[in-house]
Amino acid sequence: MLYTLYTLFPDLILPWTQEAIIGRAVEAGLVSFNLRNLREHAQNKWNRVDESPYGGGAGMVLRVDVAARAISEAKAMEPAPDEIILLSPAGEPFSQKIAEELAQKQHLCMLCGRYEGFDARLEPLVTREISIGDYVLMGGEIAALTLIEATARLIPGVLGDQESHQQDSFATGLLDYPEYTRPPDFEGNIVPEILASGHHAKVKQWRREKALERTFLRRPDLLETAALSSQDLKFLETLKKVKAES
């Protein structure tokens, strides 16, 4: 997977691409990065990329012609981008489903805004707009890194255990079950006995029920679209009765 990022601050992103799992994935040739500075497309002696907004108001707006030249450059790359993504609070909410879709691509190009964002005339030039949440950041770099983290880990070989991401929160439509490790007793808080029993079927059932319980208590909205078995539904009915009686 090739990730091309257009940003005013590529040096913010560079160290992140060189460390931990992402850094090892780069060394293994599983992912690569092309960090591009938007100022290279300014075409003026001051390398200016922004202007005051028409109609007045605070802040500065990134010029559409600058971004359009960046997109033209990206389209000429080999391979050409499968998606040209504008990170924007007005975009579609990012989700695990979108991450799984994007992870199948060969080349993702992302535009990271700053200030008051890009001129609205940029929107028809991108293939999609994505938001990572209902809040405003100082720039699109963190949003871009979020997309990279969520998609790169789904690429075969990036994670050491190929099955690890399949049981993560949201991958199954539910929150993940709670995890435990040593020490077995921490200030009287003891690891559930079932996890040390060696009974794989019972451990699997316990984990499924805990995932259902966590989702029921913390994110019940996820249950509306999760794939649930008849046994899952029966367990949820029990949870509902306990909650009603408490």
| Measured CA distances, 52 to 16, 118, 180 (Å) | 32, 12, 53
**How confident is the model at residue 165, as a pLDDT?**
53
Q: How confident is the model at residue 45 (pLDDT cuts 50, 70, 90)?
A: confident
pLDDT, tens digit, 9 for 90 and up, residues 138-176: 999 999 999 999 999 999 999 976 655 555 666 689 999
Q: Does 74 share its domain with 189?
A: no
Asked whether residue 40 is assigned to any structural domain, the reply reads yes
pLDDT, tens digit, 9 for 90 and up, residues 219-241: 999 999 999 999 999 999 999 99
pLDDT, tens digit, 9 for 90 and up, residues 4-43: 999 999 999 999 999 999 999 999 999 999 999 999 999 8
Give the residue numbers spanning the domain of 53: 2-152
Q: Does 47 share its domain with 133?
A: yes
Whether pLDDT at 118 is above 90: yes
Q: Does 190 share its domain with 77?
A: no
CB-CB neighbours of 168 under 10 Å: 13
Q: Does 138 share its domain with 196?
A: no
Asked whether residue 78 is assigned to any structural domain, the reply reads yes
Q: At 27, which CATH number?
A: 3.40.1280.10
Q: At 211, which CATH number?
A: 1.10.1270.20
Distance between CA atoms of 64 and 70, rounded to whole angstroms?
10
**How confident is the model at residue 166, as a pLDDT?**
58
The percent of residues above 70 in pLDDT, for the chain, comes to: 96
Distance between CA atoms of 42 and 46, rounded to whole angstroms?
8
Asked whether residue 164 is assigned to any structural domain, the reply reads no
Q: Is 85 helix (H, G, I), strand (E, B) or coil?
A: strand
CB-CB neighbours of 166 under 10 Å: 10
Q: Does 56 share its domain with 145?
A: yes
End-to-end CA distance of the chain: 51
What are the DSSP E strand ranges found in the chain? 2-7, 32-37, 50-51, 61-62, 83-93, 107-111, 128-131, 185-186, 189-190
**How confident is the model at residue 176, as a pLDDT?**
93
Please give the model's pTM, rounded to 2 decimal places: 0.89
Asked whether residue 165 is assigned to any structural domain, the reply reads no
**How confident is the model at residue 60, as a pLDDT?**
95
Give me the chain's average pLDDT, please: 94
pLDDT, tens digit, 9 for 90 and up, residues 58-101: 999 999 999 999 999 999 999 999 999 999 999 999 999 999 99
Q: Is 63 helix (H, G, I), strand (E, B) or coil?
A: coil
Total domains in the fold of the chain: 2
Q: Facing residues of 118 across strands?
A: 62
Active site residues: 89, 116, 153, 168
Asked whether residue 160 is assigned to any structural domain, the reply reads no
